[in-house]
Amino acid sequence: EAQVTQNPRYLITVTGKKLTVTCSQNMNHEYMSWYRQDPGLGLRQIYYSMNVEVTDKGDVPEGYKVSRKEKRNFPLILESPSPNQTSLYFCASSFRGAESGYTFGSGTRLTVV
């Protein structure tokens, strides 16, 4: 089944403890992206990647890192999480970037205490 898989689904962590949210897609998509979703603010893009070893900042990149060492994986790294990063995170992938529809993962609910 064609899909975007995120892990974990839920995560509670403490301020300052590094964490990684994994994202993997099995559709051979070139484009991948991370979003956070907050009440009243909608989906905001954190980082995106047009292809392997190519990553760019989105609208809200501060406090996040990404890497794209291989086509299928696009992990989101929080080096020192803070409470304002408590949010619902979505990974998405696409065959041709914004010219074709994005396929989203099921989301990761992160709580930083």
Partner 1 sequence: GESVGLHLPTLSVQEGDNSIINCAYSNSASDYFIWYKQESGKGPQFIIDIRSNMDKRQGQRVTVLLNKTVKHLSLQIAATQPGDSAVYFCAENVGGSQGNLIFGKGTKLSVKP
* Residue whose entry in the numeric block shows the structure tokens 């009440």: 39
Question: In sequence order, what DSSP letters do the residues of 55-72 get, joined into one string?
Answer: EEE-S--TT-EE--SSTT
CB of 31 to partner 1, least distance (A): 9
Q: Does 20 bind partner 1 (CB under 8 A)?
A: no
For the chain, helix, strand, coil in percent to 5 are 5, 50, 45
Beta bridge partners, 108, equal 89
* Contact region with partner 1 (CB under 8 A), list: 17-25, 61-69, 71-79, 89-97: 89-97
What does the alpha-carbon distance between residue 40 and residue 94 come to, in Å, rounded to a whole number?
26
Coil/strand/helix, residue 100: coil
Count of residues touching partner 1 (by CB under 8 A): 26
Binding mask 59-78 for partner 1 (x = CB under 8 A): --------------------
C-beta of 96: minimal distance to partner 1 in Å?
6
Q: Minimum distance between the CB of residue 23 and partner 1, rounded to whole angstroms?
A: 11
Note the residues at the interface with partner 1 (CB under 8 A). Answer: 4, 33, 37, 39-43, 45, 48, 50, 58, 88, 90, 96-99, 101-107, 109
